[in-house]
């Protein structure tokens, strides 16, 4: 039940698991698996932006598809506005899709080149049931203007627009049903830097105007720092650190987070400090092991890291980290800022 002091989160994800079965290497061999998500839990409050960061292969896009109910989930729960979406049939999901929409990474591949802008943007309105032609045209015109395009653009086709304009069209399509949640999977990574800034500013403006809640997936920490109120860092299908953006960026509590932040150039900072480089690639997606998922690449790993899996514990106000040595990591981070 919703109360003023305890509102229902727009999105609640609890212990989400998704494993992909691999082809058998031989007739009698047991099939392997890709362990894409291994018990992911978080929630997003109304009007907030929640960032998911990590390297390619950590499970970010799989998480987006599962939240959007675009593929089956092995176990766990995804609730949108308190309504469970896992296990619903296509017909049951259809009326709910007005509440959650998605913006994809590729502004060139995510728009059907055979359809004009009017048809592309109006497509999600099917979730609302039967509406009049006049209302459909009015909604399309209004939402195009809200993203900085012209109503007369409805008759044009995607190839007539730049990459930034195409992503605005994709955002308009996501907004047209007035959703409470938009899942954005690397929405600016395919754009030039100057265009990225325009799209990010647009997303902020739309949030201020419409109160949209964002789940924002990116490998670019600078983008996440600019847009998101809260951040979760993923590694091998698990959240290894989560917290308020300013807190997590200033005082990381997991070695992986610290290494990712060290990789972000900070021109003009005037500070010289030891930077830890991330060696190797994401490993272990096809195996389950004892201990910490980050053990093979962690410069701080000790015997306990290979034997005991660290829980996601509180390391501060609304700040969680899964590391046996989070206090040491935070102390080093604080010393580096002095």
Tens-digit pLDDT profile for the chain (338 aa)? 444 556 889 999 999 999 999 988 777 888 888 999 999 999 999 999 999 999 888 999 999 999 999 999 999 999 999 999 999 998 899 889 999 999 988 888 889 999 999 999 999 998 777 788 999 999 999 999 999 999 999 999 999 999 999 999 999 999 999 999 999 999 998 888 889 999 999 999 999 999 999 999 998 999 999 999 999 999 999 999 999 999 999 999 999 999 999 887 665 554 445 566 666 666 668 888 889 999 988 989 999 999 999 999 999 999 999 999 999 999 888 776 64
For the record, the structure tokens of 240 come out as 């290894």
Q: Would you say 21 and 29 are in contact if contact means Cβ atoms under 8 Å apart?
A: no
pLDDT at 123: 92
- Kindly list the distances between the CA atom of residue 82 and the CA atoms of 1, 102, 127, 172, 222, in Å, as whole numbers in the listed order: 9, 19, 19, 25, 32
What is the sign of the dihedral through the CA atoms of 322, 42, 56 and 147?
negative
| 252 Cβ neighbours under 8 A, 6+ residues apart | 241, 258, 261, 329, 330, 333
| 208 Cβ neighbours under 8 A, 6+ residues apart | none
> How far is residue 144's CA from residue 172's CA, in Å, rounded to a whole number?
6
What is the sign of the dihedral through the CA atoms of 137, 139, 140 and 142?
positive
pLDDT at 263: 81
| 213 Cβ neighbours under 8 A, 6+ residues apart | 10, 11, 44, 45, 46, 47, 48, 49, 50, 180, 181, 182
pLDDT at 333: 81
pLDDT at 115: 95
Q: Would you say 131 and 138 are in contact if contact means Cβ atoms under 8 Å apart?
A: no
Stretch (H or E) spanning 194: helix 193-210
Q: What is the DSSP letter of 337?
A: T
Q: Would you say 242 and 44 are in contact if contact means Cβ atoms under 8 Å apart?
A: no
> How far is residue 38's CA from residue 210's CA, in Å, rounded to a whole number?
34
């Amino acid at each position: 039940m919703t109360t003023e002091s305890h509102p229902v989160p727009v999105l609640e994800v609890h212990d989400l698991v998704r494993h992909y079965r691999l082809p058998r290497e031989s007739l009698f061999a047991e099939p392997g698996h890709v362990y894409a998500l291994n018990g992911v839990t978080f929630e997003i409050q109304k009007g907030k932006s929640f960032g998911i960061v990590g390297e390619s292969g950590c499970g970010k896009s799989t998480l987006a598809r599962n939240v959007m109910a675009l593929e089956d989930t092995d176990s766990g729960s995804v609730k949108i506005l308190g309504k469970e979406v896992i296990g619903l049939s296509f017909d049951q999901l259809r009326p709910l899709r007005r509440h959650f929409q998605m913006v994809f990474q590729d502004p060139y591949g995510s728009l059907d080149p055979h359809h004009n802008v009017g048809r592309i943007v109006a497509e999600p309105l099917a979730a609302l049931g039967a509406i009049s032609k006049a209302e459909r045209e009015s909604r399309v015109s209004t939402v195009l203007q809200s993203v900085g395009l012209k109503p007369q653009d409805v008759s044009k086709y995607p190839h007539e627009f730049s990459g930034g304009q195409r992503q605005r069209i994709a955002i308009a399509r996501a907004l047209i049903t007035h959703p409470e949640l938009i899942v954005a999977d690397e929405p600016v990574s395919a754009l030039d830097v100057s265009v990225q800034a325009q799209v990010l500013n647009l997303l902020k403006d739309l949030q201020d105007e419409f109160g949209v809640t964002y789940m924002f997936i990116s490998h670019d920490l600078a983008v996440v720092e600019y847009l998101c109120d809260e951040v979760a860092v993923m590694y091998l299908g698990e959240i290894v650190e989560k917290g308020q953006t300013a807190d997590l960026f200033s005082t990381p509590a997991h070695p992986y987070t610290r290494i990712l932040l060290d990789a972000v150039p900070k021109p003009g900072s005037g500070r010289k400090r030891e930077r830890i480089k991330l060696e190797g690639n994401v490993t272990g997606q096809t195996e389950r092991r004892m201990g910490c998922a980050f053990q093979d690449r962690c410069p701080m790993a000790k015997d306990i890291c290979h034997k005991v899996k660290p829980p996601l514990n509180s390391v501060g106000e609304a700040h969680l980290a899964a590391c046996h040595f989070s206090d040491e990591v935070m102390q080093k981070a604080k010393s580096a800022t002095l």
